[in-house]
């Protein structure tokens, strides 16, 4: 590391160590939410604290709208299969080591900063990025997280010292800036997370849409999803290891797989969704209903399905697809032995 990078990591570890000394996970649960809403950051950042009821101690910050959407789903107890949880894990996190194994790169950074990498309560950081396996922060992420944690440290200090009263069952603690005097303001606000929304895909080819509308209605009920597999892939074309994913379409009534197509990080996955739907309608006709995993996929397909009179239903569990994923994961596990 050069001197500038070393300073960034030093700032991150110093701030995180000061937060660790407060032990916020002993006083705050994983549903006690803190939010930073400042102009320095493009989106509100939401935090939850791990360790009060579980083994891992740490703090997870969700800033990307898609990650916030997934976090909201998990808070609501959305019963999605465990294998599909990575689709919602878009965040920056700090952890206290505990019994976890840290990498040689973690140890190298700590040793250069003078921290004991063999300590049972040393700190480490992870980036959970959609499509990719958890990774050590790059220098830009480390700088950003240091800035975020500086603000979180202020929130925690103020909250613990001023005894702010807040009912976390329906509210969260928000840090914002007064528009008139520019001072930081910490107050209780309703606990509704701003999750953003996904793309709505439109078929702009009018002749294609006319052709699809003329297709007959068929009795088919389909499941459609972008699925994660328990198989990390290393490929020099990509910046870091990524999860194997497949686009799956199944026929519920026939208990059959219609489509099983690999998806790489570089591909337009939502474009693949609409292409799969168009191909099916062209070849078989318009299905009665399509079951999808969540509101993001439903929104992406909503315009086309409305125009073709196809019902879209959100279901966290897709029995046909989930069975295929289970079989694929079992096969991967067997091949790795």
75-119 per-position pLDDT tens digit: 777 788 888 888 877 899 999 987 677 899 999 999 999 999 888
Task: Give residue 69's pLDDT.
Answer: 79
Task: Give residue 196's pLDDT.
Answer: 66
Predicted confidence (pLDDT) at residue 258 exceeds the cutoff of 90: yes
Asked if 60 and 181 touch (Cβ cutoff 8 Å), the reply is no
Predicted confidence (pLDDT) at residue 45 exceeds the cutoff of 90: yes
Mean pLDDT of 182-206: 86
261-302 per-position pLDDT tens digit: 999 999 998 899 999 999 999 999 999 999 999 888 999 999
Among the residue ranges 12-26, 36-50, 194-208, 242-256, the one predicted with the least confidence is 194-208
More confident residue, 90 or 209: 209
The pLDDT mean for the chain works out to: 91
Predicted confidence (pLDDT) at residue 63 exceeds the cutoff of 90: no
Closest by CA position to 147, among listed 41, 255, 256, 76: 41
List, in order of start, the domains of the chain with CATH numbers. 3-190 (no CATH), 206-335 (3.30.420.10)
Residue 47: pLDDT band (50, 70, 90) is: very high
Q: Is 289 exposed, middle or buried (0-12, 13-18, 19+ CB in 10 A)?
A: middle
Task: Give residue 239's pLDDT.
Answer: 86
Mean pLDDT of 3-12: 96
The span from the CA of 266 to the CA of 149, in Å, is 31
Task: Give residue 171's pLDDT.
Answer: 93
Task: Give residue 193's pLDDT.
Answer: 85
Among the residue ranges 141-155, 184-198, 229-243, 287-301, the one predicted with the least confidence is 184-198
Among the residue ranges 71-75, 157-161, 209-213, the one predicted with the least confidence is 71-75
Task: Give residue 16's pLDDT.
Answer: 97
Report residue 337 as tokens: 């032995």
Give percent above pLDDT 90 in the chain. Answer: 71
Among the residue ranges 24-33, 187-196, 201-210, 249-258, the one predicted with the least confidence is 187-196
The span from the CA of 45 to the CA of 149, in Å, is 11
Task: Give residue 10's pLDDT.
Answer: 97
Asked if 17 and 110 touch (Cβ cutoff 8 Å), the reply is no
Asked if 152 and 144 touch (Cβ cutoff 8 Å), the reply is no
Report the C-alpha dihedral over residues 152, 155, 160, 166, rounded to 10 degrees: -120
Strands (E), 17-63: 34-36, 45-50, 57-62
């Amino acid at each position: 590391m050069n001197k500038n990078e070393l300073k960034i990591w030093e700032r991150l570890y110093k701030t995180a160590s000061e937060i660790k000394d407060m032990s916020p996970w002993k006083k705050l649960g994983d549903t006690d939410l803190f939010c930073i809403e400042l102009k320095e950051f493009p989106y509100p950042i939401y935090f939850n604290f791990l360790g009060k009821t579980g083994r891992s101690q740490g703090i997870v910050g969700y800033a990307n709208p898609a990650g916030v959407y997934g976090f909201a789903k998990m808070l609501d107890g959305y019963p999605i299969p465990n294998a599909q949880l990575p689709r919602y894990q878009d965040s920056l996190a700090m952890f206290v080591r505990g019994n976890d194994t840290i990498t040689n790169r973690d140890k190298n950074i700590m040793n250069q900063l003078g921290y004991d990498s063999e300590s049972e309560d040393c700190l480490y950081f992870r980036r959970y990025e959609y499509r990719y396996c958890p990774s050590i922060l790059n220098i830009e992420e480390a700088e950003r997280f240091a800035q975020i944690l500086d603000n979180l440290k202020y929130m925690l200090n103020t909250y613990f010292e001023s005894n702010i009263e807040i009912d976390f069952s329906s509210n969260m603690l928000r840090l914002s800036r007064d528009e008139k005097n520019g001072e930081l303001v910490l107050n209780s606000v309703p606990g509704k997370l701003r999750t953003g929304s996904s793309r709505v895909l439109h078929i702009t080819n009018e002749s294609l849409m006319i052709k699809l509308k003329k297709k007959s209605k068929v009795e088919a009920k389909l499941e459609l999803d972008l699925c994660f597999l328990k198989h990390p892939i290393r490929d020099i074309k990509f910046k870091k290891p990524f999860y194997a994913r497949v686009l799956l379409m199944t026929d519920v009534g026939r208990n059959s797989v219609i489509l099983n197509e690999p998806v790489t990080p570089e591909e337009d996955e939502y474009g693949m969704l609409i292409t799969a739907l168009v191909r099916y309608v062209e070849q078989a006709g318009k299905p009665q209903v399509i079951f999808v995993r969540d509101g993001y996929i439903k929104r992406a397909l909503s315009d086309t399905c409305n125009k073709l009179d196809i019902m879209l239903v959100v279901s966290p569990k897709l029995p046909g697809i989930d069975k295929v994923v289970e079989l694929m994961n079992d096969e991967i596990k067997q091949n790795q032995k």
